């Protein structure tokens, strides 16, 4: 029987002994480390104003539930009332078990339709963030996503890439795309994550992690 990764090299015992003598790198994991699929963009917002806006939005609305906390910042023009389950999630693919077979879940969401900034938050700094990003690229669903302590997403891929703006984080909050894992500091920068590759987000820290996450309907073009 063959297994995924059978062609990868294995360590001989002498190589293994030598590897044990190497110093362990424990510093760089607490910093941002880019990869082709995770890049920092040359766009930076004021982290103090982002945190003030988060406090204000939470005061007005609050997160949708205790575990999957989401607050939409964009909507279909004129939208009122609750969001459908699919609009809160949307099409993704994953290999969910030992068959290693990729399957589709849920229905596609047309990100381009979510073109309006939620009017209730028009007076917050998040509106400025949306306007600035929109000068450079088309923005689809933009949400504030909270990930509670000791929580991970599924291992999946999406139809489109995403931008992340960390607002609250801790060193145990990590983003993984394909075989690369990095921490995204809450430094006001915009981070590109190519979530068309397999990815997950993990909060292995003690405090909740909060990011703005914006989908890019046009992808990289």
Contact residues toward Fe ion (CB under 5 A) are 158, 195
The two three-digit tokens of residue 114, written as one number: 């979510």
Q: Looking at beta carbons only, is 158 or 194 nearer to Fe ion? A: 158
Rounded CA separation 166/112 (Å) = 23
CB 194 within 8 A of CB 159: no
The two three-digit tokens of residue 200, written as one number: 């997950």
Q: Looking at beta carbons only, is 79 or 157 nearer to Fe ion? A: 157
Q: Work out how close the CB of 138 gets to Fe ion at its nearest, in angstroms, rounded to a whole number.
A: 18
Q: Work out how close the CB of 193 gets to Fe ion at its nearest, in angstroms, rounded to a whole number.
A: 9
With the C-alpha atoms ordered 8, 12, 13, 15, is the resulting torsion angle positive or negative?
Answer: negative
Q: Work out how close the CB of 195 gets to Fe ion at its nearest, in angstroms, rounded to a whole number.
A: 5
Give 35's DSSP letter.
Answer: B
Number of residues written out for the chain = 221
Nearest residue to the partner Fe ion, using Cβ: 158
Q: Looking at beta carbons only, is 162 or 189 nearer to Fe ion? A: 162
Q: Work out how close the CB of 76 gets to Fe ion at its nearest, in angstroms, rounded to a whole number.
A: 20
Q: Looking at beta carbons only, is 50 or 194 nearer to Fe ion? A: 194
What is the Cβ-side half-sphere exposure of residue 192, based on CA atoms within 13 angstroms? 19
């Amino acid at each position: 029987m063959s297994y995924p990764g059978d062609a990868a090299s294995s360590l001989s015992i002498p190589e293994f002994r030598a590897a044990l003598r190497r110093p362990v790198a424990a510093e760089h994991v607490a910093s941002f480390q880019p990869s082709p699929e995770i890049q920092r963009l040359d766009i930076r917002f004021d982290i103090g104003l982002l945190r003030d806006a988060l406090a204000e939005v939470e005061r007005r609305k609050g997160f949708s539930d205790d575990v999957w906390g989401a607050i939409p910042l964009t909507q279909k023009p004129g939208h009122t009332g609750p969001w459908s389950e699919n609009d809160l999630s949307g099409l993704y693919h994953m290999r969910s078990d030992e068959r290693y077979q990729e399957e589709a879940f849920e229905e596609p969401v047309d990100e381009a339709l979510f073109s309006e900034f939620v009017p209730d938050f028009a007076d917050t700094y998040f509106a400025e963030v949306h306007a600035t990003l929109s000068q450079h690229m088309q923005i689809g669903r933009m949400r504030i996503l909270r990930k509670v302590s000791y929580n991970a997403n599924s291992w999946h891929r999406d139809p489109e890439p995403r931008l992340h703006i960390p607002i609250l984080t801790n060193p145990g909050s990590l983003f993984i795309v394909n075989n690369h894992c990095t921490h995204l500091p809450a430094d006001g920068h915009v981070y590109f994550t190519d979530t068309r590759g397999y990815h997950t987000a993990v909060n292995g820290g003690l405090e909740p992690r909060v990011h703005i996450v914006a989908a890019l309907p046009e992808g990289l073009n």
